[in-house]
Amino acid sequence: MKRLIIAALVAGVLPVSACTKDFDNSTVKEFDLERYLGVWYEVARYNHSFEKGMDNTMAQYILQDDGTVVVLNTGWKDGKFKVAEGKAKYKDPEGKPGGLRVSFFLFFYSDYNVMMVDENYQISLVGSKAEKYLWILSRTPVPDPDLLQMILEEAESRGYDTSKLIWVDQSRNIEALTD
């Protein structure tokens, strides 16, 4: 009877572990927060409830005197301009340089992992502790194709499925820059 129970438990665990895909959400080894500050356009993201249906999305990071960062996320949904203000702080700047904690509600923080940023801080790959969150951010609404390809390859090498990315319409932001 014990063997039957153990066999049933093992049989129940194996399919779950066989389906679990490893992914690497580690942060960059070196990170310059001062260079990361400013405006980033959301080029692509995984689908999730808090940005569902939004386009022309941007994030702005503003350093405060106390070392925290104001995070302003903006975008359009159903023809209305939306703003979400949050705050970010370093979790472990020495041990995890690109690892921030971000909160948009009271004291509930989520991981914000800068997994890759190019040497000129023009494009960035951001994730979280959960595999279901992924963003590609760029300093311009339409990133350089070579940089975009580099970021996509990095995401794939880390185990992310880039076919699940939603490509963000940035037409309003492009138009605003050309006016």
Reported as a single tens digit per residue, the pLDDT across 123-150 is 999 999 989 999 999 999 999 999 999 9
> Measured in whole angstroms, how far is the alpha carbon of residue 142 from the centre of its chain?
17
pLDDT digits (tens, 9 = 90+) for 56-75: 999 999 999 998 999 999 99
The pTM for the full model equals 0.84
**Where do runs of H (alpha helix) occur along the chain?**
2-19, 33-36, 145-157, 171-178
Contact 3, 89 (CB under 8 A): no
Q: Residues of the chain with pLDDT > 70: what percent?
A: 88
Full set of structural domains in the chain with CATH: 28-178 (2.40.128.20)
Tell me the mean pLDDT in the region 22-43: 94
Q: Please state, in angstroms and as integers, the Cα–Cα distance from residue 53 to each residue in 48, 76, 172, following that order.
A: 10, 8, 15
SS3 of 18, please?
A: helix
Q: Please state, in angstroms and as integers, the Cα–Cα distance from residue 130 to each residue in 25, 53, 85, 104, 126, following that order.
A: 8, 21, 22, 17, 11
SS3 of 66, please?
A: coil
Tell me the mean pLDDT in the region 151-173: 96
pLDDT score of 17: 36
